[in-house]
Structure 1
Amino acid sequence: MAAAVGRICGARLLKNYGAVTPQMLSTLGVVGGGVGALLFALEQSVQASGNEAHPPHQPWSHGGMFQSLDHASVRRGYEVYKQVCKACHSLQYIAFRNLVGVTHTEDEAKAEAAEIMVRDGPNEEGNYFERPGKLSDYFPSPYPNENAARAANNGAYPPDLSLIVSGRKGGEDYIFALLTGYVDAPAGVVLREGQNYNPYFPGGAISMAQVLFNEAAEYTDGTPATASQLAKDVATFLRWCSEPELDDRRLMTIKVIGMFSLLTAFIYYLKRHKWSTMKSRKLAYKPVAKK
C-alpha cells in the first residue's frame, strides 16, 4: 500500500499542499496497512479462542455469486417454520405479502393470512376487534410480550428469526449445524435443568431442545421429511427472510456486468480508433520565411 501511495506521489497525481509530503502519505499508508492486518489477526484469534465448534460449510444451491434461491426449498422451509418453529419464534419483519411470487400464489398467501386473527381498531364506536389476517399483516408473535416468552421457556427468550441468518456468524451454515448438532454433554460439562448440549452454540448449553427429527413435519410436495432435509429447508427459508431481495440483487448484478462489458468495449473502441490519433498528433510551428 505504501508503495502504491509512493508511486502516486511520484507521478505527481497528488500535489504537495502545505505540510503534506509524499513521505507523510507513505507513512500513513504503512500505518493503515499495519492497523488493518492487526485487526484481521485479532478477529481470527478471537474466533479461534471460542469454545464453540465452527459450523462446516454446506453446498447451498444459492451459495454462488450468480446462483438464486431454491424456491421449492424456501416453500418447504416455510412449512417447517409453520409446523415446528412458529410455536416459539416470531417473524416480526416478514409480512404475508412477501410470500406472494416467492413461495405462494396470491390466493394461497391470502389463505395463509386468513388463518390468523389480528387485533384491529378502533372502529366507529371506539372499540377494538379481531379480524382475519390480510396480506398486509405481519407474522404474529407466539407470545404477547417478552416476559410471557421467558416464562414459557424457563427464562430463555426465543429470538426473532427474521434476520437470524444475517445476525449469526456462519449464516445458514450455523443454523443447519445448530439444528442437527445436538449430542450428549461430554464429561465435565454440567447442564442446568431444561438445558441441552450443542457444540455449535456459544457455551454449549442451549435452552432450546432438539426439535427436528425424522417426520417432525409434513411436506405437501411429498419430499421425505428427514431431519437433515428439514434443517436444510428451514435454513434456506430463513436466508430468504434475512434477504428477500437476494434474487433481485443477483439478477441486477448480471445485468450490470453485461451493461458495463458493452460500455467497456465501446470505450475501448473510441480510445483505440478515435482518440489515439488526437493523442499522438504532433504540432509543429513553421515560421514563414521572409522574402
Structure 2
Amino acid sequence: MIVRFFAFLVGLGFVSALFVGFVMPRDKQEESAAEYVHEHMTLKPVHYSFSGPFGRYDRRQLQRGFQVYQEVCSACHSMKLVAFRDLEEIGFTKPEVKAIAKQWKVEVPSINDKTGEVSSRKALPSDYFPSPFPNETAARAANNNALPPDMSLLAKAREGGPAYIYHLVTGYATQPAGLLAKFPDAKTPDSLYYNPVFANLNIAMPPPLVADGQVTYADGTKATVDQMAQDISAYLMWAAEPKLENRHRAGTAIVIYLLIATALAFGAYRNIWRDMKH
C-alpha cells in the first residue's frame, strides 16, 4: 500500500507539473528583423509554362534564360552539372552548341599531351560548363569572402523554386527607415545589399539585373528586368529538372491507365456477381 501511495504521489506531481507548464504564460521570444519583414512581405505570384501537371517548358524562354546566364550570371556562378550538349534539349542546334562552347569566355582545364603540364583549351560540346574560378579560395577572394553557389540545382534546392529566384533577383531595395527604427541593429553592412527576400535580409551578391536592356535577346523580346528574371528562373528550373516533361507525360499516362483499369475491374465485378442474390 505504501509503495502504491508513493507511486500515486509521483504520478500526481508529474501531471501537475505538466498542467502548470501548459497553463503558465510563456515568455515571448524577441522577434528578429528578418521574421518581421518576412511576416509582412507580400510577393506577387509568378506563372510559368511548366507549372501544373500538364506544364511544358517554353524553349524560347529557356534560350533567353540561358542568354541571361551566359552574359550576366556566369561571371560568378558555375553550372558544373550541365554540359554544353545539353543545350540541344532547349532548341539549340548542334552547330550552335559547338559555337557556344568554343566561344565560352572560360577555357576548360586540361593536360598538355606532350609535356604533361596543366593547361587549358577551348570547350567542346561534351564538356560541362567550366567554373569562372579555379577553386573556392579564388571564388571567395573575388566576392568579399562569399562563395557564389553553383546554379545547376539551385531551383530545386531553394524553397519556392524558380519563383524564389525570380523574387530574389528583383527584390533588391533600399532598407526601409521604419525597419531601422524598430530594429536599430538591423542596418545592412556596407559590404552587403539589402534584399527582403533573402533569409537574413542581407546578401553578398550585388543586384545582377540592374536595368532594362541589360541583355539584347536574340529573338527580339524586350529585355525588361521582369522578363529577364522570369527567363533566368525558368532556365534554372530546366537545368535542375530537365526531365520534368517526361514525368508529366508518364504521370498522365499512368492516371489514364488506372482509370481504365478501374472501370474494367468494376465492370468485371458487376458481371460476375450480377446473378447472385443477397
Q: Aligned AA for 1:214?
A: D
Work out the number of aligned pairs and report it.
Answer: 233
Q: Aligned AA for 2:155?
A: V
Bigger mean CA deviation after superposition, 143-152 or 259-268: 259-268
Matches within 5 A, 1:95-134: 95-116=83-104, 117-121=107-111, 123=113, 126-134=116-124
Matches within 5 A, 1:5-84: 49=35, 51-52=37-38, 53=41, 55-84=43-72
1:182 to 172, 179, 183: 172
Q: Is the 8 A contact 1:150 1:157 kept in 2?
A: yes
Q: Is the 8 A contact 1:86 1:142 kept in 2?
A: yes
Bigger mean CA deviation after superposition, 156-165 or 251-260: 251-260
Q: Is the 8 A contact 1:89 1:158 kept in 2?
A: yes
Bigger mean CA deviation after superposition, 116-125 or 130-139: 116-125
Residue-by-residue CA offset, 1:24-82 (whole Å, 9 max, x unaligned): xxxxxxxxxxxxxxxxxxxxxxxx94754464431222221111121211110000000
Aligned to 1:11: none
Q: Aligned AA for 2:206?
A: A
Determine whether 1:147 maps to 2:137.
yes
Determine whether 1:204 maps to 2:192.
no
What is the distance in 1 between the residues matched to 2:226 and 2:44? 14
What is the distance in 1 between the residues matched to 2:36 and 2:83? 36
Secondary structure of the residue aligned to 2:89 is coil
TM-score scaled to structure 2, two decimals?
Answer: 0.77
Query: Cα RMSD between the aligned structures?
Result: 2.2
Q: Is the 8 A contact 1:92 1:141 kept in 2?
A: yes
2:261 to 260, 263, 267: 263
Secondary structure of the residue aligned to 1:230 is helix
Identity %: 37
What is the distance in 2 between the residues matched to 1:103 and 1:175? 23
What is the distance in 2 between the residues matched to 1:137 and 1:64? 33
Determine whether 1:230 maps to 2:220.
no
Residue-by-residue CA offset, 1:205-261 (whole Å, 9 max, x unaligned): 111111212111110000000000000000100111111111111111122222222
Q: Is the 8 A contact 1:99 1:109 kept in 2?
A: yes
Q: How far has the Cα of 1:125 moved from its partner?
A: 5.5
What is the distance in 2 between the residues matched to 1:122 and 1:271? 72
What is the distance in 1 between the residues matched to 2:114 and 2:267? 69
Secondary structure of the residue aligned to 1:100 is helix
- Runs of 5+ consecutive residues of structure 1 not aligned to the other structure: 1-47, 283-291
What is the distance in 1 between the residues matched to 2:89 and 2:188? 45
Residue-by-residue CA offset, 1:177-201 (whole Å, 9 max, x unaligned): 1111111012324222231111101
Q: Aligned AA for 2:193?
A: N
- Runs of 5+ consecutive residues of structure 2 not aligned to the other structure: 1-33, 181-185
Q: Is the 8 A contact 1:165 1:238 kept in 2?
A: yes
What is the distance in 2 between the residues matched to 1:126 and 1:59? 52
Aligned to 1:195: 192
Secondary structure of the residue aligned to 1:237 is helix
Q: How far has the Cα of 1:108 moved from its partner?
A: 1.4
What is the distance in 2 between the residues matched to 1:54 and 1:144? 40
